[in-house]
Amino acid sequence: MEKNNIFTISEKTGYSATTVSRVLSGKAHKYRISQAAIDRITQEADRCNYRPNLVAQSLRTQKSQTIGLLVPGIENPFFATLSAIVIEVLGARGYHTLLADSGESEQEEREALRMFQSRSVDGIICIPVSSSPALHEEIGRKIPLVLLDRYFRETKLSYVCTDNYAGAYMATEYLLQKGYRRILAIQGVPASMPNQERARGFLSAVEKAGASGSVVGDAFSVDNGFRETQKAFSASQPPYDAIFAFSSTILLGTIQALRQLQLRPLRDVGVISFDNNGFLDFLDPAVTRVEQPLREAGSQAVETLFAIMDARRRSLPEPAPRQLLIPPTLVVRDSC
């Protein structure tokens, strides 16, 4: 029985073994190989059930063609969307993704980072949950590592994040301009950097306007949004005229609680949310929210990681740490 390999596929398709190798290793676009050639080669590879020997390839090139991606909760639509973007961008560069979920646990995060080390990934993109960057910096000295969405105030690691302070300030300012003066902010995980910056932006805007505001809550969850909304609005004279949910998951809990209390966004209480999601336009009324630049953030994180990987591979000086905060935008709808 004939053993199929790159050379037999080359003979059957008429393309050189080099072209076949580049297509099957995911580097076709890098070398500007035509779509017709890609289609012909992949069809022949599928027909003869050929798969490259990735283990042998990694031993030969000292590259696993794999990036570790660590997120705090893949069940959260925000992290699921961000992960999908990163995986897509890495795939376009011919890389596979090894995905791990820390579940907002520092212990799980440590185990996942060590697992990435043992699997000899080429680089790591991490949404951290730890209070200290010590382990991330230790591993970053051995394996290129970039932080995404969350970061540490004092670190030499590169990171790409949304400017959460600016986003929260902008959302709160919008509520204030609409005439709301008593605003409840329902936060997520208090220790996370995005949450801290959103709380800081919210309180800064409220203080500057001479309005009143409170920050409550403890998780980026539906249950947290429901519980805190119920607690604040169950009295006959609720002390707030607007709610700022720090995530779309918190928002869903808020909407559920308001319905049980027979209160309606806009008519009875202004509602605004951090994070954009298509389903928010299908709520009644559609929800005004802060949109994070997820595609740009994911792409920039991959680009930053590959710059570090390339420098180390070529034994060149590493680029200076890139610490990027990307401005969000306000999506105005009808909820406030």
What is the pLDDT, as a whole number, of residue 1?
A: 36
Residue 300 lies in a domain: yes
Phi, psi of 255 (to 5 degrees): -60, -45
pTM of the model: 0.80
Residue 332 lies in a domain: no
Of 27-31, 50-54, 66-70, 146-150, minimum mean pLDDT range: 50-54
Bridge partner list, 124: 68, 145
Give residue 50's pLDDT band: very low, low, confident or very high (50, 70, 90): confident
What is the pLDDT, as a whole number, of residue 59?
A: 44
How large a percentage of the chain has pLDDT more than 90? Answer: 79
Same domain, 33 and 129: no
Same domain, 195 and 174: yes
- Mean pLDDT in residue range 237-255: 94
- CA distances in angstroms from 295 to 148, 195, 228, listed in the order given: 12, 20, 31
Same domain, 193 and 246: yes
| pLDDT tens digit sequence for 144-186 | 999 999 999 999 999 999 999 999 999 999 999 999 999 999 9
Residue 334 lies in a domain: no
Residue 89 lies in a domain: yes
| Four-residue CA torsion sign, 271, 276, 279, 281 | positive
Residue 264 lies in a domain: yes
Of 48-52, 58-62, 331-335, minimum mean pLDDT range: 58-62
| pLDDT tens digit sequence for 254-270 | 999 999 999 999 999 99
Same domain, 69 and 33: no
The total of structural domains in the chain comes to 3
Residue 335 lies in a domain: no
Of 6-10, 17-21, 61-65, 138-142, which has the strongest mean pLDDT? Answer: 138-142
Same domain, 286 and 301: no
Residue 333 lies in a domain: no
Give residue 53's pLDDT band: very low, low, confident or very high (50, 70, 90): low
Q: Where are the alpha helices (DSSP H) in the chain?
A: 6-13, 17-24, 35-47, 54-61, 77-92, 106-118, 134-140, 164-177, 193-209, 222-233, 248-260, 294-313
CATH number at residue 245: 3.40.50.2300
Mean pLDDT of the chain: 92
- Mean pLDDT in residue range 71-76: 94
Same domain, 210 and 110: no
CATH number at residue 18: 1.10.260.40
Parent domain of 150: 61-162+296-326
CB 116 within 8 A of CB 70: yes
Same domain, 303 and 154: yes
pLDDT over 90 at 29, yes or no = no
CB neighbours of residue 307 within 10 Å? 16
b/e for 47-73, b at 16 or more Cβ within 10 A? eeebebeeeeeeeeeeebbbbbbbbbb
Same domain, 168 and 254: yes
- Mean pLDDT in residue range 59-79: 84
b/e for 13-31, b at 16 or more Cβ within 10 A? bebeeebbbbbbbbebeee
Same domain, 197 and 90: no
Same domain, 95 and 173: no
Distance of alpha carbon 198 from alpha carbon 65, whole angstroms: 36
Same domain, 175 and 83: no
Cα-atom radius of gyration of the chain, to the nearest Å? 24
CB 188 within 8 A of CB 217: yes
- Mean pLDDT in residue range 311-330: 96
Same domain, 198 and 277: yes
Distance of alpha carbon 69 from alpha carbon 62, whole angstroms: 20
Name the DSSP class of 234.
S
Residue 155 lies in a domain: yes
